Amino acid sequence: MSTAISLMVGLTPTKVERSSDIFNDYTYPNEKILFHFDDDVTLVLTHEQRCCEDVTLEDVVGDLNDLVGHPLLVSELRTTYEAEEARGLGDLEEYELNEGDVECIKRTFADAETYEWAFYEFRNIKASVTLRYVGESTGYYSTDVNFFVVINDKLHELYLGDFPKDFLTMQPEARLTLLKEYISDQTSK
């Protein structure tokens, strides 16, 4: 699946941090994972709060600091969505979940009308880190985890449509350069 998160493949984080304090307001009240690249580019994973949904970073498997200093070889999303009538949770083997994850998912969403869980995996030559998000909703509001770039101390959602069609196949340094140009263009608006 090609998502904005894929643009991080080949990039080397200089710092990765988990924070609930930065950009903490009604729209972005949840925990955030910040990936810093160079001095000019910070990419953020968080949920944009709308109304009647709850999205939580439930677990980080691995050490975020192990992602620093080495190019990311994998940056991907695995997700599933279940509606009320599908309480059986479907074929969980497809998602390579362990028994503890399955039980946690079942307990978390016992009363939700719709629920989703998302696994973001980041891997480099040194380590692998998986972020496990869970979301519940009335079914009307999204439980997606959003991908943002920091511009002038504010979060701006990233869309692949804002970049050339071959963006994800470009060399990592070319992608980083385009991200810096994007930030510069957005700053001047």
**What digits encode the pLDDT tens for the residues 5-46?**
888 999 999 999 988 766 655 455 567 899 998 767 888 888
* Strand locations in 84-164 (E): 114-123, 128-137, 146-151, 154-157
User: What is the per-residue pLDDT for 83?
Assistant: 43
What is the rounded CA–CA span in Å between residue 18 and residue 135? 18
Determine the average pLDDT of the residues in 52-71.
89
Global pTM?
0.75
Q: What is the pLDDT of residues 86-103, one digit of tens each?
A: 444 444 455 555 566 656
Residue 172 burial class via C-beta count within 10 angstroms: exposed 0-12, middle 13-18, buried 19 and up: middle
Strand partners for 151: 154
